[in-house]
Amino acid sequence: MNDLEGKVAVVTGGAGGIGRAMGRRFGQAGMKVVLADVLAESLDQATRALADDGIEALGVVTDVTDYSSVESLAKEALDRFGAVHVVCNNAGTGGVSEGYMWEHDLADWRWGIDVNVLGVIHGIKAFVPILLEQGEGHVVNTCSGNGGFAPIARGAMGGPATAVYPMTKAAVLCLTESLYTHLEMTGSGVRAHVLFPSGFLNTGIWESWRHRPTRYAATQDRRTPDQTLERVLGRFESAGVHVEFTPLETVAEQVIEGIRANSFWMMGPPAPSDQVVSSKAASILSRGEPDYLVDVLGKHAENTSETGGGKS
């Protein structure tokens, strides 16, 4: 499916950040775009911005934690555009937990798992049968080096970082590998891809707590202030680490190229963070200590990677 012109893309978490950038890039490639997000106002703004640029776009308020909501999204996309060719399971929430993992609020675990893992499963269940019936299509699941490679287990100050976020992203990689195999077994032209957005990205994920749904309300009092991007940048600065943001368009380009090339791994060029992958493989093969689990600042210093922020 090299020619994307006239095809239809659905992007969850499309109201902001990476999802919004992907929607725009798909539109620039001549695709019709369905943006889905739980934030109605931002979704409306994002959809209107695409339409203003002459892109055929539909915004559907969707909660990926609710399967019936994702089913309705699929139905609305089909009703409007008659087909779906690319599905990006991209909606995500960042780490809001504090302390050691045995101290994390159970509500943090439930929220992270429901959005980042169950949300992807819902997208697969609702959309893959549609793609299979068409005999073509792409499923792009957004992962992260933080968890997909190895968890950032220590935060910038040496304390623990959230265990929730990396655990959910490890699950996203694992289930996308299963999806790849299952799709191969069908002999169809439907392909699975896993996206590792690279670089330090200026998105809402650092401050996910701002839109915490009431049904996942914290059940424990916080001992530390909520994370802000400003505070994270301050930590890096005081450690002498200069942060440069990677444009979100670069990530969106990675996705378009990955679809055109039919690549399972949607990654940027070789980066220092690849070292974590080889150190991890070496540790497993030698039955050694997991010495690839590095401090967030140490890692960030050698690689301007998203994983550096700790999402904690």
Ligand X SMILES: NC(=O)c1ccc[n+]([C@@H]2O[C@H](COP(=O)([O-])OP(=O)(O)OC[C@H]3O[C@@H](n4cnc5c(N)ncnc54)[C@H](O)[C@@H]3O)[C@@H](O)[C@H]2O)c1
Catalytic residues: 165
CA distance linking residue 66 with residue 49, whole number of Å:
27
Q: What is the footprint of ligand X within residues 198-217 (CB under 6 A)?
A: 201, 203-205, 211
SS3 86: strand
- 15 touches ligand X (CB under 6 A): yes
Using CB under 6 A, which of the segments 71-79, 91-99, 126-134, 176-184 binds ligand X? 91-99
CA distance linking residue 43 with residue 61, whole number of Å:
7
- 65 touches ligand X (CB under 6 A): yes
- 16 touches ligand X (CB under 6 A): yes
Nearer Cβ to ligand X (36/131): 36
User: For residue 115, what is the DSSP state?
Assistant: I
Nearer Cβ to ligand X (132/311): 311
In whole angstroms, the minimum distance from the beta carbon of 189 to ligand X comes to 26
Judged by CB under 6 A, which of 47, 97, 144, 176 binds ligand X? 144
User: Phi/psi of residue 140, each to 5°?
Assistant: -115, 115
In whole angstroms, the minimum distance from the beta carbon of 289 to ligand X comes to 26
Match 């077994």 to its residue by tokens: 185
Q: What is the footprint of ligand X within residues 34-63 (CB under 6 A)?
A: 37-39, 62-63
* Contact (CB, 8 A) for 31 and 86: yes
Using CB under 6 A, which of the segments 1-9, 52-60, 197-205, 270-278 binds ligand X? 197-205
Alpha carbon 108 to its chain centroid, in Å, reads 17
In angstroms and rounded to an integer, the radius of gyration of the C-alpha atoms of the chain is 19
* Contact (CB, 8 A) for 127 and 192: no
Judged by CB under 6 A, which of 22, 23, 26, 93 binds ligand X? 93
CA distance linking residue 288 with residue 11, whole number of Å:
40
Match 């499963």 to its residue by tokens: 121
Judged by CB under 6 A, which of 74, 88, 91, 297 binds ligand X? 91
CA distance linking residue 28 with residue 36, whole number of Å:
18
- 303 touches ligand X (CB under 6 A): no
In whole angstroms, the minimum distance from the beta carbon of 102 to ligand X comes to 23
- 137 touches ligand X (CB under 6 A): no
Pick from 62, 65, 60: which is nearest to 79 by CA?
A: 60
- 27 touches ligand X (CB under 6 A): no
Judged by CB under 6 A, which of 23, 27, 59, 92 binds ligand X? 92
CA distance linking residue 220 with residue 47, whole number of Å:
37
- 142 touches ligand X (CB under 6 A): yes
Q: What is the footprint of ligand X within residues 154-183 (CB under 6 A)?
A: none
In whole angstroms, the minimum distance from the beta carbon of 74 to ligand X comes to 14
Triad 51, 29, 193: Cα angle to 5°: 110
Nearer Cβ to ligand X (7/122): 122
* Contact (CB, 8 A) for 104 and 62: no
CA distance linking residue 179 with residue 129, whole number of Å:
12
Nearer Cβ to ligand X (15/171): 15
Nearer Cβ to ligand X (69/134): 69
CA distance linking residue 234 with residue 251, whole number of Å:
25
- 308 touches ligand X (CB under 6 A): no
In whole angstroms, the minimum distance from the beta carbon of 8 to ligand X comes to 19
Task: Give the binding site for ligand X (CB under 6 A).
Answer: 12-13, 15-19, 37-39, 62-65, 90-93, 115, 142, 144, 197, 201, 203-205, 211, 306
